Amino acid sequence: MHAVVSGVIHPSPGAWHFEEPIELDFPDGHWTIIVVNSQFHAIIDGAEPADLGDFMNEVGAIVQGCIDALSFRIATALRAEISVMIVDGNRIVVRSPTWPQLLPEGASSQVSVEQLGPVVKEAMNHPLARFALADIRMAMQSPDDTEFHAFRAIESVRQHFLGSEPDEGAARKRSWIKMREDLQLEQGPIDALTRRAIPRRHGEVSLISGDERLSAILTARAVVEKFVAHLQAQRMGGRGN
């Protein structure tokens, strides 16, 4: 397979570049990464991957690693964003900025005031809601760290149910129970995400498939949706569900 994966480096006005191409050899192929004028091109010759979506995530992670090296040296936060992949000169895979599988069936790209308003309000007024929303965004942006960020979004929500107690021992256990009860959450999906997120929390290498990424983000989104509704109900003097 011969593939060219292209994208941009943010913030793009910086005209970021590498003076020479980066050559990488892997057991299943050879990669050349070119960065010029805040754009990157990864030229890949190797075996056909089982899943092109997962392969694009892998390319994105490797390119981001190269960009992180530049970020480290110049003390600037840079981010690589894939836009398109061309395979064997005749197959084009476009990276969409949206993730339709995360939305309810039939959902529109247009968001009503009734849908957006409560989330905006809680993001403005409640730091834990803001932290959780940020982690869900990062879970979508960072394939390697999807489960870490999805789990941390849930942990931010849990902090609300901790109250003024120290986050340890029996108090921590009670906060998990109270969060599940007050938000009416199923324990199984959260426990599964907890197990998978722990290795990355401790710095281990943890491989993740596209389906596992989807499951992790859906679990976190469900918790945040119910948390926003809970906060809204509290504001109106209700108990929250």
Give residue-wise pLDDT tens across range 34-63.
Answer: 999 999 999 999 998 988 888 999 999 999
Alpha carbons within 13 angstroms on the beta-carbon side of residue 15 total 1
Alpha-helical runs (H) found in the chain = 52-74, 113-125, 127-141, 146-160, 169-183, 187-201, 210-235
pTM assigned to the model: 0.85
Cβ-based neighbours of 196, under 8 Å, separated by 6 or more: 147, 206, 208, 212, 216
Is the pLDDT at 112 greater than 90, yes or no?
Answer: no
Fold of the CATH domain 107-235: Four Helix Bundle (Hemerythrin (Met), subunit A) (1.20.120)
- What are the sequence ranges of the domains in the chain? 2-94, 107-235
**Across residues 61-67, what is the average pLDDT?**
95
Q: Which residue has the higher pLDDT, 102 or 237?
A: 102
SS3 78: coil
Q: So what's the pLDDT on residue 218?
A: 97
End-to-end CA distance of the chain: 51
Give ∠ CA 197-202-205 in degrees, rounded to 5: 75
Q: So what's the pLDDT on residue 207?
A: 84
Residue with tokens 């209700």: 238
Residue 238's pLDDT band (cuts 50, 70, 90): low
Is the pLDDT at 240 greater than 50, yes or no?
Answer: no
Per-position DSSP letters for 15-26, written without gaps between them: ----SSPEEEEE
If 0-12 CB within 10 Å is exposed, 13-18 middle and 19+ buried, where does residue 46 land? Answer: middle
SS3 92: strand
